[in-house]
């Protein structure tokens, strides 16, 4: 490999094979070719720095392209979501599916309110869930194991009572020492 570097009016010639030959020979600081070797070293270090700079630039470009690609993938996912078959269902059919899924809002080992989960999917589902009283009218409370915050139970019950109107509330309360009046006291303070 042969490298030529132009430094103003001077031209320095650096050959890879001559460097190896020189290293195998008895090259030392006492030889006359020290200036050429020093200049070849400076040129090689400068070239290495240019390569490092170019690599950093290319790596930054790769990061930028990957970020752009991720944004494009997010747009693709959103477009696919817009074209999903479930979006073609009429509200009446979707409401019927909701009623099949939301058989009960419960406070047992954990608070589970399927109607609330459905209402968090998108604005249309929220409107449909909130305007379908039967989704909110089945409530089951197990007070044997009180492992949840009473304020969360109160919030669930208040929401269910408000959104179930005019459907009748079907309550199932499990606790021998807790009556419906206790539940109402919890709700209304």
CA distance 116 to 162: 13
* 63, 122: one domain: no
* 156, 182: one domain: yes
* 116, 45: one domain: no
Packing angle, helices 180-188 and 150-164, rounded to 10: 90
* 132, 169: one domain: yes
- Look over the chain and give the mean of its residue pLDDT values, rounded to a whole number: 78
Measured CA to CA in angstroms, residue 86 lies from 89, 103, 126, 134, 171 at distances of 6, 21, 15, 21, 32
* 123, 58: one domain: no
Q: Does residue 166 have a pLDDT over 80? A: no
* 72, 111: one domain: no
* 132, 47: one domain: no
pTM for this structure? 0.54
Examine the fold and report which residue of 57, 81, 105 is the final residue of a domain before the chain moves on. 81
Domain that holds residue 115: 87-188
Q: Does residue 24 have a pLDDT over 80? A: no
* 99, 153: one domain: yes
Nearest alpha carbon to residue 44 among 11, 23, 79, 15: 15
Least confident of 4-13, 95-104, 146-155, 162-171: 4-13
Examine the fold and report which residue of 20, 54, 81 is the final residue of a domain before the chain moves on. 81
CA distance 154 to 26: 92
Question: What does the pLDDT read at residue 39?
Answer: 86
* 115, 73: one domain: no
* 96, 18: one domain: no
Looking at the structure of the chain, the number of domains it has is: 2
Q: Does residue 111 have a pLDDT over 70? A: yes
Q: Does residue 135 have a pLDDT over 70? A: yes
CA distance 21 to 43: 19
Q: Does residue 181 have a pLDDT over 80? A: no
Q: Does residue 128 have a pLDDT over 50? A: yes
Q: Does residue 9 have a pLDDT over 60? A: no
Examine the fold and report which residue of 44, 63, 81 is the final residue of a domain before the chain moves on. 81
* 77, 144: one domain: no
- pLDDT tens track for 33-73: 677 778 888 999 999 999 999 999 999 999 999 999 999 99
As a whole number, mean pLDDT of residues 26-35 equals 64
Nearest alpha carbon to residue 101 among 91, 84, 113: 113
* 165, 92: one domain: yes
């Amino acid at each position: 490999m042969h490298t030529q570097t132009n430094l103003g009016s001077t031209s320095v010639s650096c050959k890879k094979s001559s460097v190896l030959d020189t290293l195998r020979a008895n090259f030392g600081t006492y030889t006359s070719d020290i200036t050429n070797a020093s200049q070849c070293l400076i040129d090689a270090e400068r070239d290495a720095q240019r390569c490092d700079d170019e690599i950093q630039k290319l790596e930054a470009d790769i990061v930028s392209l990957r970020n752009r690609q991720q944004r494009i993938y997010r747009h693709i996912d959103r477009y696919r979501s817009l074209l999903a078959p479930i979006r073609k269902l009429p509200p009446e059919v979707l409401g019927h599916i909701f009623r099949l899924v939301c058989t009960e809002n419960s406070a047992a080992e954990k608070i589970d309110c399927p109607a609330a989960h459905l209402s968090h999917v998108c604005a249309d589902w929220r409107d449909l869930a909130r305007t379908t009283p039967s989704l909110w009218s089945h409530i089951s409370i197990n007070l044997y194991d009180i492992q949840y915050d009473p304020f969360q139970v109160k919030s669930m019950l208040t929401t269910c009572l408000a959104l179930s109107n005019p459907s009748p509330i079907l309550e199932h309360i499990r606790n021998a020492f807790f009556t419906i009046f206790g539940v109402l006291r919890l709700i209304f303070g």
